[in-house]
Amino acid sequence: MPTKKGVYAKSVYKEPGPIRTDEDPFHSMMERFNIAADILELESGFYDYLCKPTHIHITSNPVVMDDGNVKVFEGFRVIHNDVLGPSKGGIRYAPDVNLSEVKALAAWMTWKCAVVNVPFGGAKGGVTCNPRKMSPGELERLTRRYTSGLMEVFGPEKDIPAPDMNTNEQIMAWILDTYAMHARHTNTAIVTGKPIALGGSRGRVEATGRGVMTTTLAAMERIGMKPFTSTVAVQGFGNVGSIAAKLLREQGCKVVAVSDVSGGYYNADGLDIIKMIEYSRANGFSLDGYRDADLISNDELLTLDVDVLVPAAKEDQITVKNAHDIKAKIIAEGANGPTSPEADDILNEKGTLVVPDILANAGGVTVSYFEWVQDRHGYFWTLDRVNRRLDFMMREAFDTVYDTAEKHDVSLRIGAYVLAVDKVASALRLRGIYA
């Protein structure tokens, strides 16, 4: 649903915060929030309340490295909002983690939970480190130190972490254990995305990729595309990208290109995704050296002549530099923030249907919610039950976003923001402002 260009007056509200560059993720979030706030005619006090994080925690995490030296890592936990329920959001380990990114990711969690109707607020955490250069022991000590520094912040009824880039089930297990040691009892609902043996949910690992698949099919239906005649390119071959590629393939799509940090892999007749997943797993989660495909660059992948493009790697991959050259009819955003606001305008004008991140990749938090519910009940669901409920919620969210976008004659992204901001603002009005 392309927008009409220039249909919005520029926001009357002030830009919050000092950081503002074209590729600043918090700025990207605010650009969309401002448009939604304008459409909703949000009161200025509520505007300030909803765009600012309620709490920002910055921690210094000393770790004894394997060589005996002490190294200090900076950690963040941002609670953007808890109006709808306890805050929820992943923890990211990467060398370029910074406060602006974590603030944006926390806000996206608030809007994402509201879009899929999950009773959580939004949060995000991160540690500036290079996990690829750290041993398992160093990662464990870092995780335990970071967790113990946030004991008063985390809690099953307060703020619930989950995995994100470069964090996984094992790291969630260390968070659970550290929290339990301090709290003097085990409560498995403290963290989601943990191993099934520790109270994890069936289907959680595949949930984000599955949601990308469900919303892509829903988008295809709306514009009369059929999976069996559609080609797909996926950027990023980690948890989200590889599972989305596998499930879209199972639905009949021809996945002609995938990529990871090592580069892009292309086969016009369709790639063998299962074989590539096995190869990547056996090769330290890298496709480097994979032979049964032509090598292309990541930039080439984004502008291939395909029907569906799934950016599932990181922020700001589709920008003014390449948006004009994108040929896909549908972009399903597996990653958070892969498209810059400036690129949005170009894509809208071209008529590209963008299924926005806060909808397309919300499958992960939806099954995290199921996991939290199961932990609290002490009763665990079958995979079939998890998947059926996930498909239902993703489908319902897609339809609601689509209808909202149609009602306001805006893109699906702005439709999703309008829906989410309205839901959180309405809850805030009901709760009132505590004096």
Q: Which residues bind ligand NAD (CB under 6 A)?
A: 163-166, 208, 235-241, 259-261, 298, 312-314, 334-336, 361, 364
Return the SS3 of 159: strand
Nearer to ligand NAD, 93 or 402 (CB): 93
Instruction: List all residues 6 or more positions away from 67 whose beta carbon is below 8 Å from its beta carbon.
Output: none
Report how far residue 328's alpha carbon sits from residue 304's, in angstroms, rounded to the nearest whole number.
Answer: 8
Catalytic-role residue among 88, 103, 124, 194: 124
CB count within 10 Å of CB 180 equals 14
Is 254 annotated in the active site? no
Report how far residue 118's alpha carbon sits from residue 391's, in angstroms, rounded to the nearest whole number.
Answer: 14
CB count within 10 Å of CB 322 equals 14
Supply the minimum distance, in Å, between the C-beta of residue 295 and ligand NAD: 13
Spatial strand order in the sheet of 254-260: 294-296, 263-266, 254-260, 231-235, 308-311, 330-332, 353-355
Long-range contacts of 378-385 (CB under 8 A, 24+ apart): 380/199, 380/201, 380/202, 381/201, 381/202, 382/202, 383/202, 383/203
Closest by CA to 227, choosing from 120, 93, 332, 325, is 332
The residues with which 92 forms a beta bridge, in sequence order, are 126
Supply the minimum distance, in Å, between the C-beta of residue 138 and ligand NAD: 18
Return the SS3 of 266: strand
Closest by CA to 319, choosing from 299, 336, 344, is 344
Report how far residue 164's alpha carbon sits from residue 78's, in angstroms, rounded to the nearest whole number.
Answer: 14
Supply the minimum distance, in Å, between the C-beta of residue 422 and ligand NAD: 22
The residues with which 77 forms a beta bridge, in sequence order, are 57, 125
CA 34 to chain centre: 20
Report which residue's Cβ sits closest to ligand NAD: 238
Catalytic residues: 124
